[in-house]
Structure 1
Amino acid sequence: MAHTVRIWDLPTRLFHWGLVLAIPGLVVTANIGGNAMAWHFRLGYCVLALLMFRLVWGFVGGRWSRFSAFACSPSRLLRYLRTGGTAHDSVGHSPLGALSVLALLAVLLAQVGTGLFSDDEIAFSGSLTRWVSSTVVEQATRYHADIGQYLLLGLIGLHVGAILFYVLFRRQTLVRPMIGGDKLLPVAAAPARDDAVTQAAALAVLAVCAAASWWVSGLGAP
Structure 2
Amino acid sequence: MDQVQQVSSEQVKVYRVWDKPTRLFHWINVLCVMGLVFIGAIMMFKGDLGISGLEAKVKLKQLHVTVGYLFALNLAVRLVWGIIGSNSARLSKMLPSLSAISAYNAKLKEGASPQYLHHNPVGNLAVFAMMILMVTIMCTGLIRAGTDIYYPPLGGLVSDYIAQSGVDGSSLKAYDETGVDQQKLAQIKPFKSLAGEVHVYSVYLLIFMILLHIAGVIVAELKHQPGLVSAMISGKKWLNRPPED
CA distance in 1, matches of 2:127, 2:119: 9
For residue 184 of structure 1, give the secondary structure of its aligned residue in structure 2.
strand
Tell me if structure 2 keeps the 8 A contact 1:117–1:126: no
1:141-220 → structure 2 map (5 Å cutoff)? 141-145=196-200, 147-170=201-224, 172-187=226-241
Specify the alignment match of 2:188 in structure 1. Answer: 133
Specify the alignment match of 2:68 in structure 1. Answer: 44
Shift of 1:179: 0.4
Specify the alignment match of 1:7 in structure 2. Answer: 17
After TM superposition, the score normalised by the length of structure 1 is: 0.75
Tell me if structure 1 keeps the 8 A contact 2:96–2:128: no
CA distance in 2, matches of 1:141, 1:62: 36
1:108 to 134, 155, 161: 134
For residue 93 of structure 1, give the secondary structure of its aligned residue in structure 2.
coil
Name the count of aligned residue pairs. Answer: 186
C-alpha change, 1:36 and 1:71, in structure 2 (3 Å) is closer
The structure with the larger Rg is 2
After TM superposition, the score normalised by the length of structure 2 is: 0.68
C-alpha change, 1:39 and 1:153, in structure 2 (3 Å) is same
Are 1:95 and 2:150 matched, yes or no? no
| Deviation sequence 1:90-147 (CA, Å, 0-9, x none) | 11121111111111110011011111122699x63564362782211110012223x1
Letter in 2 for 1:9: D
1:56 to 63, 76, 80: 80
CA distance in 2, matches of 1:31, 1:155: 18
Higher relative contact order (CA 8 A, sep 6+): 1
Shift of 1:16: 0.1
CA distance in 2, matches of 1:32, 1:73: 39
CA distance in 2, matches of 1:91, 1:100: 16
For residue 238 of structure 2, give the secondary structure of its aligned residue in structure 1.
strand
Tell me if structure 1 keeps the 8 A contact 2:144–2:196: yes
Shift of 1:180: 0.5
C-alpha change, 1:23 and 1:92, in structure 2 (3 Å) is same
